[in-house]
Structure 1
Amino acid sequence: KVMNTSYFAQNLESLTLKIQNAGCKPILVTSLARRVFTSEHVTSDILGPYSNETINVAAKLKLPQILPLLNDSLTYIAKLGKAQSMLFNWDSDSTNKDTTHLNSLGWKYFGRIVADEVHALVPQLSGYIVPDPALSDAIASGTILPQDL
C-alpha cells in the first residue's frame, strides 16, 4: 500500500511527537533503497520524496540526529551493481522480483549500514554497536565479502 508524502509526513510527525511526549528521544531513519535499476550501476529512486519528508519532519521537530539510510543504501547498491544487489532480495532463491524486502544476507549488509550510521551520528549509542571493520570496508568499497557469495 502506498500513501502520499503529505500523509506520510503527518503520520511520522504525529508518531514522533508521541515518542517525545513519552520522554524518549526519537531518531528518524530515511527509507531503505529499493533495489531497482535502470542499468547495471544506475538506480531508480522512488523513495526520495519520502526521505525528504523524513528530513523535513526531523528539522521541524529539531531532532539532533537523522540516519541517512536512503542515501547510504543507494550509494552502496549503485557501486555494487544490479546483479549483486539482487542477492539481497527476499526471494533471491526463487523469482528474485521482490526488490523491497530483504533476506538474511540483506539484513546483514543493510543492518551494518545502519549500525555504522548510529556509531557515526549518535555517539551516545556507539558503545552498543559491535564493530565489523571487514563488513564496513566491503560496503564502503561497494563489494560483498567473498564468504557471503
Structure 2
Amino acid sequence: MRKVSVNRPVLLLLVLLLTSFSTAQKKIKIYLVGDSTLAQKAKYKYPETGWGVPFTWFFNQNAEVDNRAQNGRSTQSFINEGRWTAILDSLKADDYVLIQFGHNDEVPTKKSATTPAQFQENLKRYVNETRAKKANPILITPVARRKFDTHGKVVDTHKEYAQLVRNVAHEMQVPLIDLSEKSMLLLQEFGEEKSKLLFLHLKEGQNPNYPEGVKDDTHFNELGARYMAELVAKELKEIKSPLVNYITN
C-alpha cells in the first residue's frame, strides 16, 4: 500500500485552520437598557459620562455593546416610548440585555415614577420577553448616588428599589449584578470629599458647558464612569457570566 506524504508546513497550517474554526466565538450583541447613569451623552453635557460608555471598551470584536439607555427614563417610560420594542425587534438568540433602572422609578414626583408593584412587573416583562427571544437578561441594581450622613457613612438612597431588583432576580433566577452595593462600597472607600472626583462637580468657569459650575451627585464624570464600568465588568466574572469570554485582558 502506497503511503501518501504530507508536507509538514501544510499539515501544520491545516491543523491551525481547523483549530481556529472550532474555537471561533459567535458574534453577539450586548444591549444596555436603563437611565442617564449609564447612557451616552450629548456633547454639550461633557464631561458628564454614563458608565455604559467606557463599558464598551472592555470587550473584543465579537461582542458589540449597543447602549440604548436614555436620560430620565424609568422601566415604564422606556416601554411607553417604544424603546423596548425597538430592542426586541433586533434581539437575537444568545444576545445579552443588561437592565438597570430605579433612579427615575423611585421618585414619586416624577412623571416617570412607578410604584413598587409596577416596577417589579416591568422588570419581569423585560426578563420574560428577553428570554422569549432566547437571549440572556442580567438585572442590575441602581448605581449609588453620592450621599453621606453626618458620620461620613454612605447613605443608601436606593434601598427599596434596589431590593425590588434583587427580589425579582431571585424569584426568576436571573443573574444579578448588585451595582448599588458595590458602588456604595467604592464611595465609602473614597470617602465623602474624595468621592467628588467621580461625579460631575465643576467650579464656576472651569468648563464652558457649565459656566456657572455644577454640583451633581447622581451623574459621573469620565473617571467615575470608568470606575462604575469596571465594577460591572468585575461582577460579570463574579457571577460567572459567559460574557467574561468576550472581555479583553
**TM-score, scaled to structure 2:** 0.48
**Which has the higher Rg, Structure 1 or Structure 2?**
2
- Which one of the candidate residues 159, 178, 185 is aligned to 1:75? 185
Once the two structures are TM-superposed, the CA of residue 127 in structure 1 deviates from its matched residue by 2.1
Q: How does 1:54-73 map to 2 (within 5 A)?
A: 54-63=165-174, 65-73=175-183
Q: Which of the two has greater helix per residue?
A: 1
- Which one of the candidate residues 23, 44, 47 is aligned to 2:155? 44
Partner of 1:32: 143
Residue 171 of structure 2 is aligned to residue 53 of structure 1? no
Residue 216 of structure 2 is aligned to residue 105 of structure 1? no
Matched to 1:44, the amino acid is V
CA contact (8 A) 2:199 2:216 kept: yes
Q: Deviations over 1:87-116 (max 9, x none)?
A: 1112x1234421111111111111111111
CA contact (8 A) 1:19 1:25 kept: yes
CA contact (8 A) 1:41 1:79 kept: no
Alpha carbons of structure 1 residues 96 and 88: separation in structure 2 relative to 1, 3 Å? farther
Q: Which of the two has greater strand per residue?
A: 2
Which deviates more, 65-74 or 38-47?
38-47
**TM-score, scaled to structure 1:** 0.78
CA contact (8 A) 1:41 1:80 kept: no
- Once residues 217 and 248 of structure 2 are traced to their aligned partners in structure 1, the CA distance between those partners, rounded to angstroms, is 28
Partner of 1:89: 199
Matched to 2:132, the amino acid is N
Residue 123 of structure 2 is aligned to residue 5 of structure 1? no
Matched to 2:122, the amino acid is N
Once the two structures are TM-superposed, the CA of residue 17 in structure 1 deviates from its matched residue by 1.3
Number of aligned residues: 129
Q: Give the secondary-structure state (helix, strand or coil) at the position aligned to 1:26.
A: strand
Once the two structures are TM-superposed, the CA of residue 6 in structure 1 deviates from its matched residue by 2.4
Residue 246 of structure 2 is aligned to residue 125 of structure 1? no
Matched to 1:124, the amino acid is P
Which deviates more, 93-102 or 21-30?
93-102
- What runs of 5+ residues in structure 1 fail to find an aligned partner? 132-149
CA contact (8 A) 2:198 2:220 kept: yes
